[in-house]
Structure 1
Amino acid sequence: MIIESATPADLEKLLAFREEAASWLTALGTDQWRRPYPADKLRATIDAGVVFMVRDGATTAATITLTPEAEAGLWTERELAEPSMFVNKLTVARTHAGQDLGGRLLDWADDRAHRSGAVWLRLDAWTTNETLQSYYLRHGFDHVRTVTDGGAVNGGPRVSGWLAQRSTRLNSDHGLTDATDLPPAQPAHHLRTT
């Protein structure tokens, strides 16, 4: 399987991935991703070069967003001062479920983050999805804390505030052929405000 940077032509596939994942999550009893993701925000992340696609021949098998930008209100100033990369929107097509493709993508992200100078690979997960949280713990992440306030419009509860991290390391055992360019080292982190 090959991992490559997403292009604007992937937008519809990414939106369909999200919809497929939301349906599957609903069937599992979680409210994660029930609201449609705005296409313009997804397009902006594609244009920023932080969205990646895993291709299995002509089939798109998975996607991951890996960015140096943290979502506002989750990480402390001290944590943001540490070189880090952040995983978002990791999604595996149901056709490729059960093959630990998500774990391999996390290892690829770990390797990429390490090569760009990050010492931490960080993520935030849905606060009510304990199955997903356990998945990340099984893949070497440590729970940092859960942020439950300030995330939703009008001061409601934050829905994706379960924070976890793992130390980065060189990790070429992910088995993916990397057809991406390595990003430049990130001297400082920015807060994502959208």
Structure 2
Amino acid sequence: MIIVQAELADLPRLVKFRTDSAAWLTKLGTDQWAKPFPADHLAQSIRNGEVFLVKERLRSDAAATVTLDRDADPRLWTASERAEDALYVHKLSVDRQYAGMDLGGRILDWCGDRAAKTGARWLRLDAWTTNPRLHAYYRDHGFAHVRTSADPSVVSGWAAQRPTALSSGHGLDDSLLPRLTGAD
């Protein structure tokens, strides 16, 4: 599988990832992602070069998506944590057709590899506060729970991190992406 940067033309597919995931999560009994995510926020992340698509081939439909950025929510991360060099995983979604293949785990490993290549120390994420199944998934993929926000306005308040690590074991080809330097 290959990883490419999303383009503005991919915005409808990214919105579909979100709505499809919300429908699946509803069947599991969680309200995660039930509220639509503003398309203009997704568009800005695309323009910033932070949104990635995982595909079987360049011209095939996306199998998964992830946003990888430096956007640390100050309601979740302390000032000293935000001062540390870290990349943050957001909006990781895998098409149900690819469920059970640990594609999400491979994407997390790719994110950790990419973060390490920029010189970041941590790969961080937040997860839906009321989704213990998702928390367990992230723990199973090496993330350590840091804290859960007590702020009721923070619905994705379960914060976790793991050290970054160079790895080619994810098996995802990112050769079509711009080369990274420590300053990226």
- TM-score category of the 2 structures, normalised to the smaller one: over 0.9
**Aligned-partner Cα distance in 2 for 1:175–1:121:** 19
What letter corresponds to residue 177 of structure 2 in structure 1?
A: T
Report sequence identity in percent: 54
Which residue is 1:90 aligned to?
92
Taking CA–CA contacts closer than 8 Å with sequence separation of 6 or more, which of the two structures ends up with the larger relative contact order? 1
**Aligned-partner Cα distance in 2 for 1:183–1:73:** 29
**Aligned-partner Cα distance in 1 for 2:153–2:37:** 18
What letter corresponds to residue 89 of structure 1 in structure 2?
A: K
Q: CA distance change for structure 1 residues 20 and 74 in 2, over 3 Å: closer, same or farther?
A: same
**Aligned-partner Cα distance in 2 for 1:64–1:91:** 7
**Aligned-partner Cα distance in 1 for 2:55–2:162:** 26
Query: Is the counterpart of residue 59 in structure 1 residue 55 in structure 2?
Result: no
Which residue is 1:103 aligned to?
105
Contact 1:8 1:43 in 2 (8 A): yes
Contact 2:117 2:181 in 1 (8 A): no
Which residue is 1:133 aligned to?
135
1:8-19 equivalent positions in 2, closer than 5 A: 8-19=8-19
**Aligned-partner Cα distance in 2 for 1:131–1:144:** 17
CA deviation string 1:55-108 (max 9, x = no partner) = 113121000000012123210111111110000000000111110000000000
Question: Size of the alignment, in residue pairs?
Answer: 181
Bigger Cα displacement from structure 2, 164-173 vs 52-61: 52-61
TM-score normalised to the size of structure 2?
A: 0.95
TM-score normalised to the size of structure 1?
A: 0.90
Contact 1:148 1:159 in 2 (8 A): no
